[in-house]
Chain A
C-alpha cells in the first residue's frame, strides 16, 4: 500500500484496526521479557535495588522527549501540508507525552528519596524535565480551550514548534542556572559506564515502552478520528433540524 493512502483517515482506521492487536501483543511480550530481565538483573553495588527504578525512569524520559518530537513533526504536517491526520496525531501524542513525563518525574522522585535523602532537588536535569512537563500541560490546556478542532490544531502546532525551538534553550539555561548555584556534588545518574548486565534489560524495557507508545498512540488517534466524526454528525444534525 502506498504511503499516501495512509493519509486518508478511513484507510488509516481500517489499517490501524488490523495492526493494533499485533502491537498490543508485542508490547505485552516486550514488557514480560523486560520486567523478567530487570528483576533478575544484579543490584548495583552503590545504589542497591534502587537502581532498578532506572529501567522505568530512563525509557520514560526518552519517550517524554520523543513525544514532543512526534508532535513537532505532526505540527509541520498541520501547518505546511494542512493535513487532518497530522492534527489527530499531534492531539493524540500530547496526553501521552504528558503521562510519560509525569512517570519520569515520579520515578525520579522515588529514586531521589533514598539516594539524595529528599524527593526533589533543583538539579538541572530534573528541572528541565519539569519545565517540559509544564509545556505539555500548556499544549493540553490549549487543546481544551479552543472548541473548533482544526483551529485548535493550528494553534497547538504553532505552540509545539515554538516549544521545539525553545526546549534546547530552556535546557541550556536551566543547566547553566543549576551549575551556577550548585556545586557538582549531586550524584550523576547511572555513572560513567553501564555494565552490560544492566544495559540489556534497559534496552528491552526501552523497546517495550516504545511499543507501548505506538499502541496507545494508534488507539488514541482512532478515538480522536471517531470523536471528530461524531462531532461532525452532531453538527449536521443541528443543521438539519428545522430550517
Chain B
C-alpha cells in the first residue's frame, strides 16, 4: 500500500469550516514542506482540533482547497497521514501487541511491531491486555502506531497530553527523526512540544 512517491508539500488555501451554523475558521491558508513542522495554537474552541480533523478528512470543509503536492494521486490525503487524536483507539481486552498489530495490518498491510514497541518503551509488556495500561502508557502505545506504519504526514492533536517528561522527550526525538526523514508534522498544541524552529499558526485571534 505504501507509495514510493513522497509528497513534498501540504498546501492549504482559504480553508473554511462551519459547524452547527458557526464558522469555526475561515480564510485559513498555510503550507508545510518536507522536514517542516507547523504548530497550530490558539485558545480553547479556536478550531485547532477541527482543523486537524478537516485535514485528515474526518470533518467536512465548507470552502478552500487542501492538497498534498507530488503525492500519490491514487491516495486520499487521509491515507497518507497519521492522525493522533484525543482518543487512543485501543481495545482494553486486546493485548498491547494485538492492538498495535491490528492497526499495522489495517493501515498498511503488515510490518514488524516489536521495534516500534521497544521505541516507546512497551516492549517488555507486549503480552499484557491494554486494560492494565496507565493513560501515559496508552498514549505511548498509540504513538507506536506512527512508527510502525510509515506515513509522510503526521497530524497530532495535543500529542504530549498524559505523557511524563521522559515520554515527551521520546516523542520529540521521534518527531525530529520523522522530519529529518523528509516527513511533515501538523500539530495542535498549547505549549512547546520540543520542536525548535517550528513555524506557528495562531487560530482564533481574529475573533
Contacts and interface: CB of A to CB of B under 8 A. Distances in A.
Direct contact of A and B (CB under 8 A): yes
Contacts of B92: 147
Q: Which of A234, A235, A238, A243 has the most CB of B within 10 A?
A: A238
Contacts of A235: 132
A229 B53 CA distance: 43
Interface of B: 92, 121-122, 124-125, 128-129, 131-134, 136-137, 140, 164
A235 B125 CA distance: 10
A237 B125 contact: yes
A241 B124 contact: yes
Most buried by A among B131, B132, B137, B140: B132
B119 to A, nearest CB: 11
A143 to B, nearest CB: 15
Interface in A214-243: 234-235, 237-239, 241-243
A180 B132 CA distance: 54
Given A234-B132, A235-B132, A241 B164 contact: no
B121 A238 contact: no
Contact of A238 (B137, B140, B164): B137
Given A242-B137, A243-B164, A237 B121 contact: no
Contact of A147 (B121, B131, B140): B131
B134 A239 contact: yes
Interface in A136-161: 147
Contacts of B133: 238
Contacts of A239: 134
Q: How large is the interface on A (under 10, 10 to 19, 20 to 34, 35 or more residues)?
A: under 10
Interface in A158-194: none
B132 A242 contact: no
Contacts of A242: 121-122, 124, 137, 140
Nearest to B131: A147
A212 B137 CA distance: 46
Nearest to A237: B125
A176 B89 CA distance: 53
Interface of A: 147, 234-235, 237-239, 241-243
A234 B131 CA distance: 11
B163 to A, nearest CB: 11
A147 B140 CA distance: 23
A135 to B, nearest CB: 26
A238 B121 CA distance: 11
B122 to A, nearest CB: 7
Given A238-B125, A243-B164, 15 more contacts: A147-B92, A234-B128, A234-B132, A237-B125, A237-B128, A238-B134, A239-B134, A241-B121, A241-B137, A242-B121, A242-B124, A242-B137, A242-B140, A243-B134, A243-B136
Nearest to B129: A234
Contacts of B125: 237-238, 241
Nearest to A242: B121
A234 B125 CA distance: 9
A238 B126 CA distance: 9
Contacts of B124: 237, 241-242
10 closest residue pairs by CB, A with B:
A242-B121, A238-B132, A241-B125, A235-B132, A241-B124, A238-B128, A238-B125, A234-B128, A238-B133, A237-B125
A236 to B, nearest CB: 9
7 contacts: A235-B132, A238-B125, A238-B133, A239-B134, A241-B125, A242-B124, A242-B140
A238 B140 CA distance: 13
Contacts of B137: 238, 241-242
A238 B138 CA distance: 11
A243 to B, nearest CB: 7
A242 B126 CA distance: 12
Nearest to A236: B132
Contacts of B122: 241-242
A37 to B, nearest CB: 49
Contacts of B140: 242
B174 to A, nearest CB: 15
Nearest to A231: B132
